[in-house]
Structure 1
């Protein structure tokens, strides 16, 4: 297995921009902290679709406004009651659901009331199929990834329960584990059970206390609520997305297609406008929910751990590159006389190697990435506040000690519980890169 590069004797050079002395490490970008020379040599971010770009701009604007409010107060983000935007968002969501209900009623009337006509029931069945794709459904557990329950990982669930109590909520019913450099929570089933998904690409590079902060952030979403995550609003957004996809123009191969595209033009843009309206109405509340979740991370794991946990979100490309390189190496190892043994060793050590590799990243590289984050507006996705603003708000608030401590013994016990899932994910990565 590829190991972390040996530490070489430090090298220095003069900055071409200002003449300051800068350190040189062949593994990382050489840059100047004094004048930001070469701080961001990568290619520009790829062009985004109009909707994604709109949401990113909106998230950045609201994120900036909320960050300034939090910094002026000198305290962590506070939960506020429903404002006019939230009430209006629920109203728009109910309007969307009423349209779905109206279509369902119309389908029933066509089937039952027009049974003697022969053609109306057929139209009703077609309409019923369309409505079936628009009705909000309960969430489901992730597929094709390991899912753990309390009996599978008692120490992990014990930690989750302690963190949940620290942020003012209850634990989860299931924990899914995938390979992503991310983590998230949602509900599933008609009983609204809770599931947390831990991405091994993020979990494995965090210290035990940073993992507590990560759990605190994710569970904070349950504690503080988020209008965008509610069944009513989330279902409406999903329905609008389905409507828009259904109304997309078709390739024109006949006059029928041309007429159809003309007929759906106005409805399609009406649906698009409703989606943008609902997205805009819920965006500010969603931004506040992220800052509140960050405050929960600080309460549970400490402010220091929450801040460094956010730094780890900036190195997703390094995590993905290492996992891809190592899994490809394991695939190629199958060709040698000891290929199977080598591959099994890489499967066992994949995640430990990732932690060691990422652990060797110096603070200067994190600082460079923080500056790039501020320039480019890095965020976890199109709805999150920019990461540098989240970090700045945590650092500006009064420091908080950890309410939940994950010592070495507990961390080892949890690692043992996650070992089968980690091995399965390693095999998944290797097969994926082999294809």
Structure 2
């Protein structure tokens, strides 16, 4: 780690820089966001950002004014479900049409058309999710203390626990469902888990389990699959670029259906975005209730520098690639990987956290329209009196959790660094 001092080229203020991070000036914001995202190119993306900004800031204003955040079923949610069901009804109609064309059209070209219709219907079919083949999957018998912690957090949140925990190397965590019975699945990325304190981990679990409790229409099975189907329809009906005469005729034929699909997709986005923004703020409130307001805010701060954790893991993997085969250090490189990652994250200076906070305020919803910007989420958490943790991490529980995750930690560290 090399540090240097230089004058700001804009205002002349002394700037202290860490060679691992972007140099910037806290006085005038020079170079605070050199990697600013480009403007959204498509109409749907521009709509998403506009809706996210409107809904996110409106919800924050409501909370700041004293309005309580709670799950809500409104007219927009009902209309969204109705549209989603209509989309799936179209897929079902394609199945029926395809079967009729195949069974009743023998002796002509209709069976071929029916086969094509069935192929499209198959591509549009709802997905129910499944467990991965390339990541450790923990069941309750594999990690009883981890599942007990999840159950404790779930009780505070007002929901139930999960059926499986999938452990990955990601700097992230998420919840979803899988299978026809829609069993609950929690994904824990060690790239995130290992850089959090025990109380921040509880806040993270509170946030993720909160998504099961907050009634977010957009992430329900019906709406998710409807959005996926509409996106696929939009792709299938995209005009051919630089068309010849025949392709120009095809583009003209596709014009009205393409506009209709785009319109329905934008409408469904419009109807579900407020629920999505509300769902994130609600999940953050559950994080604060489970792990404390302080831990939830610290979690948000940690997530702002999450890219640094991803880069640190990438550097470890790249370093391993240039190490000679047969070198003893190559076989043992996996040892201490997660500890090195945590140490790297603990060494990040406060100036980098502050730069990322300012980037969040400058970028707003331009990076991820489905989540409110971090600075708004932190502001929402800090509204009102801070809450104490309802779940705490006892030292003996932490020891048990470390023991239960030891095997996945080793397995994923070896895979990440290609150590055998």
Question: Is the shorter-chain TM-score for this pair beyond 0.5, marking a shared fold?
Answer: yes
Structure 1 residue 265 displacement after superposition:
2.3
Tell me how many residue pairs correspond in the alignment: 418
CA contact (8 A) 1:39 1:372 kept: no
Supply the distance in 1 between the matched residues of 2:287 and 2:142 (Cα, whole angstroms). 25
1:129-168 aligned at under 5 Å gives the runs 129-168=119-158
Q: CA RMSD in A?
A: 2.5
2:69 aligns with one of 61, 77, 81: 77
C-alpha change, 1:143 and 1:251, in structure 2 (3 Å) is farther
1:374 aligns with one of 326, 336, 361: 361
Counterpart of 1:40? Answer: 32
1:184 aligns with one of 170, 174, 179: 174
Supply the distance in 2 between the matched residues of 1:188 and 1:387 (Cα, whole angstroms). 29
CA contact (8 A) 1:17 1:37 kept: no
C-alpha change, 1:267 and 1:76, in structure 2 (3 Å) is same
User: 2:221 aligned with 1:228, yes or no?
Assistant: no
C-alpha change, 1:380 and 1:171, in structure 2 (3 Å) is farther
User: 2:353 aligned with 1:362, yes or no?
Assistant: no
More displaced 10-residue stretch of structure 1: 175-184 or 163-172: 175-184
1:122 aligns with one of 80, 100, 112: 112
Supply the distance in 2 between the matched residues of 1:248 and 1:430 (Cα, whole angstroms). 41
C-alpha change, 1:84 and 1:60, in structure 2 (3 Å) is same
Supply the distance in 1 between the matched residues of 2:109 and 2:38 (Cα, whole angstroms). 50
Supply the distance in 1 between the matched residues of 2:13 and 2:110 (Cα, whole angstroms). 80
CA contact (8 A) 1:378 1:387 kept: no
Counterpart of 1:409? Answer: 396
Counterpart of 1:92? Answer: 83
Counterpart of 2:290? Answer: 300
SS of the residue aligned with 2:187?
Answer: strand
Supply the distance in 1 between the matched residues of 2:138 and 2:353 (Cα, whole angstroms). 33
2:57 aligns with one of 59, 64, 78: 64
C-alpha change, 1:359 and 1:110, in structure 2 (3 Å) is same
Supply the distance in 2 between the matched residues of 1:416 and 1:60 (Cα, whole angstroms). 43
1:253-264 aligned at under 5 Å gives the runs 255-264=245-254
SS of the residue aligned with 1:186?
Answer: strand
Unaligned runs of 5+ in 2: none
Supply the distance in 1 between the matched residues of 2:52 and 2:126 (Cα, whole angstroms). 25
Supply the distance in 2 between the matched residues of 1:292 and 1:376 (Cα, whole angstroms). 22
Supply the distance in 1 between the matched residues of 2:272 and 2:81 (Cα, whole angstroms). 9
1:208 aligns with one of 160, 178, 198: 198
Structure 1 residue 118 displacement after superposition:
4.1
Structure 1 residue 322 displacement after superposition:
0.9
